[in-house]
A and B are shown apart, each in its own frame.
Chain A
């Protein structure tokens, strides 16, 4: 479902004497349907960078980034937009929303984007918010006013509202209490069971061992090692 072949990434800083900073080289990995691969490596090794390359948020310098039959490294913006709508979900560490939109609608939005009827989308959103212990009195408020932990859970609910065939999870269990952590792990296992291909970053080792089938050490892709 997700396959990277010989991907490299560098940043060129034009306003600092055009310094070219290579950050990753020769990245190859493969994730099949129903499989969860954990990215490991020290902080700064490039785990989130790799995730952003797969999501099309960063532009790969070379190589192929296949998600389904779309090569994210080469695709047109509208192909990536369609991919993100129908195939590839991403739970980032930060929630970015339009101010003033209620939490319930934020979570329902991915379902509405694929044409799910409004009441059905809202029901699903409500059940996810309830499962993640967001008090019902907050559902009609914008998450911009929520605490960090609440925002994170809204973000997770949004990521799991629609059944994406491929999912990227950046620290989904960070700073959650035991009960919510268990809920998130159950959601991940549910997604795997229905056949989603998942790439995750977990600092929580117990969580990582529970849901991941294999690991990829990102520091192996750092240019220093390759050179």
Chain B
């Protein structure tokens, strides 16, 4: 059974076990378990209200789940349940090895701070102090996300939606995280801007060897970005597997409905 694959990267980067989040009697997400290995990109799809964003926020520590574990393979101490970490420890993780790309860029950016400042801030949070170096790295990252460095001193409020989203990605990736959570990263953007963003995300994932968890309702996005797919309905994972297999040969009734509902262009 693929012994060579198993030996290469034995330890999952992230192990989620029995994660459950209730809103009173209502289910947010229930008994979600999976392993994510280094370099893997996993998509989570489902309709609005299926619990996919709840799950993402519970994993990322944005709100406390009722049950379960989110075990991350930390650089210093190996696998640690992040839900049992202290608040400062988890915040540090959120600034270093983890990143979170929000659907609305303004939720992930500081709108009153310049573009360069938005990127530099995260570097300073992990101990960057040399102004020249920080500015240089900020300029480098603006280039990587295809924003002209002449805009480095402009505020994000002067940017288009697509540029804001790319700036948010730069701000998140500048510290070289190993795991990126993304909530509808291409939602609300024009298709041409979406294509550009998809291309950017794909090359960054490959170059930096990132693992990512992407929540979206867009099946075309997961087909292009995700290796693996999880389908959610009413807070439960109804199907999971290799992305193209789940989309081309769906086994569960709901996935079949979801796949057959997509408009062909």
A residues near B (Cβ < 8 Å) are: 11-15, 52, 56-59, 69-71, 74-83, 96, 98-101, 112-113
Q: Are A79 and B253 in contact (CB under 8 A)?
A: no
- Chain B, residues 1-30, CB within 8 Å of chain A (1/0): the string is 111111000000000000000000000000
Chain A interface mostly: mixed
How many interface residues does B have (CB within 8 Å)? 30
B245 interfacial contact with A, CB 8 Å:
yes
Q: Are B242 and A77 in contact (CB under 8 A)?
A: yes
Q: How many A-B residue pairs have CB under 8 A?
A: 76
10 A-B pairs closest in CB distance: A14-B253, A99-B195, A79-B2, A77-B242, A82-B5, A58-B249, A70-B2, A77-B228, A100-B199, A100-B195
Q: Are A57 and B248 in contact (CB under 8 A)?
A: yes
- Chain B, residues 224-264, CB within 8 Å of chain A (1/0): the string is 10011000000000000110110011011100110010000
Q: How far is the CA of A58 from the CA of B248 in the complex (A)?
A: 7
- Decide yes or no: A74 and B37 within 8 Å by CB, A59-B245, A59-B251, A113-B206 being known contacts: no
B93 interfacial contact with A, CB 8 Å:
no
- Decide yes or no: A74 and B1 within 8 Å by CB, A57-B248, A98-B224 being known contacts: yes
Set of chain B residues within 8 Å of A75, measured between Cβ atoms = 1-2
13 A-B contact pairs sorted by A residue (CB < 8 Å):
A14-B253, A14-B256, A14-B257, A52-B248, A70-B5, A77-B228, A77-B241, A78-B40, A79-B1, A79-B2, A98-B195, A98-B199, A99-B195
Q: How far is the CA of A120 from the CA of B170 in the complex (A)?
A: 28
Q: How far is the CA of A75 from the CA of B3 in the complex (A)?
A: 11
- Decide yes or no: A69 and B256 within 8 Å by CB, A59-B251, A98-B199 being known contacts: no
Q: Are A56 and B1 in contact (CB under 8 A)?
A: no
Q: Are B1 and A15 in contact (CB under 8 A)?
A: no
Set of chain A residues within 8 Å of B144, measured between Cβ atoms = none
Q: How far is the CA of A58 from the CA of B246 in the complex (A)?
A: 8
Set of chain B residues within 8 Å of A113, measured between Cβ atoms = 206
Q: Closest CB-CB distance, B29 to chain A, in whole Å?
A: 21
- Decide yes or no: A15 and B245 within 8 Å by CB, A78-B37, A82-B5 being known contacts: no
User: Which B residues, 117 to 166, have Cβ-Cβ distances below 8 Å to chain A?
Assistant: none
Set of chain B residues within 8 Å of A98, measured between Cβ atoms = 195, 198-199, 202, 224
Q: Are B224 and A82 in contact (CB under 8 A)?
A: no
B67 interfacial contact with A, CB 8 Å:
no
10 new A-B contacts, CB < 8 A, other than A59-B251, A101-B199, are: A14-B253, A14-B257, A15-B253, A57-B242, A57-B245, A58-B245, A69-B1, A70-B1, A82-B4, A96-B223
